[in-house]
Amino acid sequence: MQVTPPAILAALYAVLILTGAALLKLPVAAPVPISWSDAIFTAASAVTVTGLVVIETGSDLTMFGQGVVMVLIQLGGLGLMTFAVLVLSMLGLPVSMSQRIFLREDLNQTSISDLLVLVRGILKVVLACEAVGVALLAIVFVPEFGWGMGLWQALFHTISAFNNAGFALFPDSLSGWVGNPIINLTVPALFIFGGLGFIVVTELYAKRTWHGFSLHTKLMVVGTLALIVWSVLAFAVLEWTNPRTLGALDWGDRLWASWFQGVTTRTAGFNTVDIGGLHDSTSMMFMSLMVIGGGSTSTAGGIKVTTFIVLLLATLAFFKRRQQLHVFGRSLGPDEVMKVLALTMVSILTVFVAIFLITISHDGDFLDLAFEVASAFGTVGLSRGATGDLDGFGRAVIIAVMFIGRVGPLTLGFFLATRSKPRVGYPSSKVYLG
């Protein structure tokens, strides 16, 4: 039986998770040894750049353990094959055709042409964004924690933010800097750039004109801006007087918190307010945004912004009786629509099945459990506090959902489906729908 590239790629991520868990079990990784369950969950959350935690990263792990988590975040966010190709390129070694095929799957591309150019562009984007992020966050952390620890805090949170992981070294995430302008501008800028996708960022850097952008970049830019405006305004309106979130802050901090929490929802799991204190309506809005996620070839999860836009366009085209989708002077054919429908269906089934399984052993607090599942699928990491209460089965479900969210829901479809040519043709018929 021939093993498909998505299957091999998924296996590589699984190996990386197990390797990370083994490193976290070392005596040097934690002041008090952690269990295998905690180690595997933490490693899985880091590799899938999710950010859901069952231990305190800053206090339950040593600097070595934090370093392991940081490296896993960077490898998981950048992509294993992307990192491997970067190493081969730096060593001057050739990249084989099979490696290019795996890279294509890792970057969610349809062609193997210009992959090496894309990888070099990714490297430039990563180095530039993370260098600027460390420099800016050091302005906040160095005066407070000293040079050594301050630079470490800046480096860890920069990598966590750019890779949309949401891991923080503080028990309340970044709530201590809810009104700090540098934190509220730098961290969101990092995860917005990371969530746009490497293709979009490299095009923004290289072409700088709207007419020169690809259709994918145009859809990502417009979709991301629209979702940011909606999420920020909706969060502010829904939570403005909530004493457990924005209501306890002064007017200026409410604006900063609305901005930060609105933009972090689709991608990174940082928070500057108590997520467990959100209104149910806000939690439902957050769940929808987490399922949508970020962009393709990005460090974010979810069904992706372009998928959501194509779904809306397909719905509009159906009611207008159009055979093709038209947007920005371009058309999308049935192949793209079929892929979007398959991706969305697999995603919905994954979320629903996970919620069903996790509620079998955790009856009650349905919203909290559903919120954790949506956060895991979108590899976001926001939590209403239910993650730490999960038993072994519940943790296994969340790990599986995080894994599917990172390697892509379509990879699950490739596992379940087999490709075969039909030998018999059948007459067409009609089914009444809707």
Tens-digit pLDDT profile for the chain (434 aa)? 555 666 677 778 888 999 999 999 999 999 999 999 999 999 999 999 999 999 999 999 999 999 999 999 988 887 655 655 555 555 554 555 555 555 555 555 555 555 666 677 777 778 888 999 999 999 999 999 999 999 999 999 999 999 889 899 999 999 999 999 999 999 999 989 888 877 788 788 776 678 888 888 899 999 999 999 999 999 999 999 999 999 999 999 999 999 999 999 988 889 999 999 999 999 999 999 999 988 877 777 888 899 999 999 998 888 888 877 888 888 887 888 888 888 888 899 999 999 999 999 888 789 999 999 999 999 999 999 888 888 899 999 999 999 888 877 656 555 555 555 667 777 877 777 66
DSSP string across 73-140: HHHHHH-HHHHHHHHHHHTTPPPPHHHHHHHHHHTT-S--TTHHHHHHHHHHHHHHHHHHHHHHHHHH
Contact 107, 114 (CB under 8 A): no
* Residue appearing with tokens 């018929």: 429
- Angstrom CA distances, 297 to 46, 65, 291, stand at 18, 28, 16
Strands 325-327 and 330-332: antiparallel
The whole-model pTM stands at: 0.88
Question: How far is residue 419's CA from residue 219's CA, in Å, rounded to a whole number?
Answer: 31
Alpha-carbon distance of 130 to 191, in angstroms, equals 11
Residue 214 and residue 245 in contact, taking contact as beta carbons nearer than 8 Å: no
Residue 423, Cβ density class (10 Å: 0-12 exposed, 13-18 middle, ≥19 buried): exposed
Residue-level pLDDT at 188: 94
CA atoms within 13 A on the CB side of 404: 28
Whole-number pLDDT of residue 421? 63
Hey, is 30 helix, strand or coil? coil
Measured between alpha carbons, how far is residue 62 from residues 67, 69, 363, 407 in Å? 8, 11, 35, 29
pLDDT score, position 5: 60
